[in-house]
Amino acid sequence: MIKRATLLLALVALLALTNMTAHAQSKGDQALLDALVRKGVLTEKEAEEVSAETAKEVGASSAGKIQIGDWVKALKLSGDLRLRYQWDQREPMILTNPKLGPQDVHIPRERWRFRLRLNADFKLAGNFFGGVQLSTTDNRAADTRNATYTGGYDLYSIYISRVFMGCNPLPGLTFIAGKQPLPFYTTRLVYVIYDTYIDFEGLVERIDFHKFFNMTFAEPVAAEGKEGNAPPPAPPRPGNSLELSLIAGQFVFNNNNADSGSTQLKWDAYQFQEQLLARLHIGDKLTITVAPGFLFGDTLANSGPFPVTQRDLNIILAPGDITYKIFGKPLSLFWDFAYNFSGNDRFNRDYGPLFSRYFYVERSATPSFSGRVQPRFSDDVAWLVGLKFGENKKAGDFLVSADYRQVGISSIDPKLNSSNFALSNLNAAGWEFHLAYNFTDFLTGVLTLYYSDALNGNLYGGYATGNVPGTTNQYPIARDRHDKVFQANIVMKF
């Protein structure tokens, strides 16, 4: 009797320690009790007493602690902290009047910065899901999460950078609403700041055709076995498959005042994009990705860096990559292409007039311009090509990459491009070099160098260099002739 009582108490303690809740015991725990009853170790009455006592103990111990609803199927909490040292140097397109004193040809800067992101992602009953992210930033800028150490003992703000919900009514059908992670495939030309992507606000619909239809072909082929004592046949060679998805997004770009006296200011601005994402897997080593798409923003109205009359964005996008695994690590040739077929109107109507030369009259601090410039094809096009080897997943992993790009002044919007390359200037061409190494599974060191020159070295005036007649806030978008940016980062995941 004493032995059985001792066993009974031990079972109660064991089940309590394994967090068997009063309202939802696991099948494994119940199976254990059933087995003990069958073996004659416990009677049915004693098994019921164990179950009731465990539920009572767990219920008492969980009082006042975090509780979630039964409809929450999974909750993931995560985050990362990045510390960054940045040195950059710019050479302005327009120098000051030499008659007013020495000209500042090279403008260097050093900054210590940090980024903190806190994530909560959840899955709910009925195939619903969602997420929230809190992150730092200096000024609510959409293209950065960095905050700059400054002001002695200042405090720093944190913002809601993501808040979205979605559902999967069918395995291949997804709907998402709210401020959400980048839904499109891209490389490093648009939407990206190397390891951070712009978060979109609006609606996204995605159809994964490969989840509705079988798109595998050349099925795995097993090696032929031999009789006798021959070794077993090798595992089958992987087959080939195609992943095909259609992604569409409707995003809020700027919410204007409907009561404004200006017709242009009454229009809310939206951005629309569609992308056909195709990935061809050939065996287990080779993957080819192409993702043609179209971005429509002909009524975009910015509060900055341009005035609300900003228009003429109709961009054909074509990113892709070819990835092959060598020694278990991916080697990727990647590319991107963007052509704004409304670029000429954007060049003349929204940025201009632009000129080929500038000069000063006597001791004036304000430059004058001459030689009206007409848009070229290269002004309407942005493209990139690069090579990348490795990945960063666990301790000892490394990644090295390099890419060359050209970004015409009327090809894309400054809100869409990287704020690191060319310090976010358009009308730029140059290189990015990147090296990352995992010291541990959660700690990564990253070095990045950006080196760029003006694509058109004689482009002045208007919103290019910030010389718009009668406008106080200039917002230059191609102000530099040459830029260099070096960043050293340490990133900790948790």
User: pLDDT band at 16, cuts 50/70/90?
Assistant: very low
**Mean pLDDT (whole number) for 436-442:** 98
Residue 42: predicted pLDDT: 75
**Mean pLDDT (whole number) for 165-178:** 97
The pLDDT tens digits for 184-194 are 999 989 987 65
Residue 9: predicted pLDDT: 44
Specify the range with the lowest mean pLDDT, choosing from 32-41, 126-135, 347-356.
32-41
Specify the range with the lowest mean pLDDT, choosing from 141-155, 325-339, 414-428.
141-155
Q: Say if residue 307's pLDDT is above 70.
A: no
Residue 76: predicted pLDDT: 96
User: pLDDT band at 13, cuts 50/70/90?
Assistant: very low
Q: Say if residue 27's pLDDT is above 60.
A: no
Residue 25: predicted pLDDT: 47
Nearest to 427 by CA among 89, 90, 93: 93
Site of tokens 């021959």 = 230
pLDDT averaged over the chain? 85
Distances (CA, A) of 425 to 296, 353, 422, 451, 457: 22, 18, 5, 12, 13
Alpha-carbon span 434 to 424, nearest angstrom:
18
Burial of 70 (0-12, 13-18, 19+ CB in 10 A): exposed
The pLDDT tens digits for 358-399 are 999 999 999 999 999 999 999 999 999 999 999 999 999 999
Residue 10: predicted pLDDT: 47
Distances (CA, A) of 88 to 60, 138, 487: 59, 18, 9
Q: Say if residue 5's pLDDT is above 50.
A: no
Q: Say if residue 11's pLDDT is above 90.
A: no
Alpha-carbon span 66 to 316, nearest angstrom:
49
User: pLDDT band at 18, cuts 50/70/90?
Assistant: very low
Alpha-carbon span 41 to 302, nearest angstrom:
75
The pLDDT tens digits for 223-272 are 555 555 556 665 555 679 999 999 999 998 776 666 655 555 556 678 89
Residue 129: predicted pLDDT: 98
Residue 475: predicted pLDDT: 78
% of the chain at pLDDT higher than 90: 61
Who wins on pLDDT, 159 or 34?
Answer: 159
β-pairing, 293-296 vs 286-290, is unpaired
Assess contact for 319 and 336: CB atoms under 8 A. yes
Residue 142: predicted pLDDT: 66
User: pLDDT band at 305, cuts 50/70/90?
Assistant: very low
Q: Say if residue 213's pLDDT is above 50.
A: yes
% of the chain at pLDDT higher than 70: 80
Q: Say if residue 57's pLDDT is above 70.
A: no
Who wins on pLDDT, 30 or 439?
Answer: 439
User: pLDDT band at 62, cuts 50/70/90?
Assistant: low
**Mean pLDDT (whole number) for 475-490:** 95
Who wins on pLDDT, 335 or 222?
Answer: 335
Specify the range with the lowest mean pLDDT, choosing from 145-159, 362-376, 479-493.
145-159
The pLDDT tens digits for 390-438 are 999 999 999 999 999 999 999 998 888 888 999 999 999 999 999 999 9
